[in-house]
Amino acid sequence: MKGSIPDTQDETGRTSLHQAAVKGDVDEVGFLLSSGANPNTQDAHLQTPVTLAAERGLYEVVKALAELDATDINRQDSFGRTPLHWCAKRCDVKVAKVLLGTGKANVNVRTTGGDTVLHWACSVAGVSDTSDTRDLEESSCQVVELLIGAGADVGAKNDRGEKPVDLVTNESVLALLVSAAQELDKREEEEAAEAERKSAPEASSNTSSTATTTAAGPIGQTAGWPTKQQQQQGAGTASKAFTKQGVAGGPTAGAAAGTKKKIVIKLKKKT
């Protein structure tokens, strides 16, 4: 195809770069890119060259395309799938590392059915070119671990209301998801506690101000309001302010712990 116009599309919408990517011809891919070929041209199914390469597990081609600054590795096809979805379906650790290593991959992008990459990684442990089941389970775990480490949302629900954990097919992946969910709960508890701690001084300050204003009294009010009643009113106001602040600050530690317990129970039932 050397010498052809790089971005000319055939009847299927594919360019020379698409064709080279499908064949796994990394030299031709490099030549076309250096000739000005657009790496983001989409065919009739909205698939880009890097999507086609990831779908087929063509590591060298994916690497050449993904590491190019101009390449959009999050471009979705007609079903909302990205290259990362395809490598998750294949349990392809090498391709996953390349895509995530660019720092450009969106791990929470969704298909038209609402599935994130993590949904696919959890649901397809068993759909791969790998014949050794142990190798498959190991690679599946590695892909899931990479996705979680890159910020994949373990609690995301697809259009069927399913979370990744609802689609798990092996115990090792289940353990990873349980651990990630517990870590998320812990982090949310800490953030809620920190938010409440930071807001406490403000609530105290507002209470003191209210008590002072009451003691002074508005213009025309009878002077000599008993000091004891001032203190009682101030204490009552502080109590109300603290209660409101507790609500505004989000779930208490007990509520968060209850949520955590429900999550763990649900995961155990799945096992």
List the chain domain ranges.
1-72, 74-169, 178-207+226-270
Looking at residues 113-128, what average pLDDT do you find? Answer: 81
Judge whether 1-72 and 74-169 match in fold.
yes
Is 102 in contact with 67 (CB distance < 8 Å)? yes
* Cβ-based neighbours of 44, under 8 Å, separated by 6 or more: 12, 13, 14
Nearest to 122 by CA among 56, 171, 81, 78: 171
pLDDT score, position 207: 55
Overall CATH class of domain 74-169: mainly alpha
* Cβ-based neighbours of 94, under 8 Å, separated by 6 or more: 59
Average model confidence (pLDDT) across the chain: 78
Overall CATH class of domain 1-72: mainly alpha
pLDDT score, position 36: 93
Q: Is 102 exposed, middle or buried (0-12, 13-18, 19+ CB in 10 A)?
A: middle
pLDDT digits (tens, 9 = 90+) for 5-31: 678 999 999 999 999 999 999 999 999
Looking at residues 134-157, what average pLDDT do you find? Answer: 89
Q: How far apart are CA 165 and CA 151, in angstroms?
A: 16
Looking at residues 186-201, what average pLDDT do you find? Answer: 82
Nearest to 98 by CA among 74, 128, 62: 62
pLDDT score, position 193: 85
pLDDT score, position 206: 58
Does the pLDDT value for residue 161 go beyond 60? yes
Looking at residues 212-238, what average pLDDT do you find? Answer: 45
Q: How confident is the model at residue 217 (pLDDT cuts 50, 70, 90)?
A: very low
pLDDT score, position 5: 66
Give the residue with greater pLDDT, 73 vs 185.
Answer: 73
Does the pLDDT value for residue 203 go beyond 60? no
Cα 157 to Cα 79, 92, 114, 118, 252, distances in angstroms: 17, 23, 7, 11, 25
pTM as predicted: 0.66
pLDDT score, position 138: 85
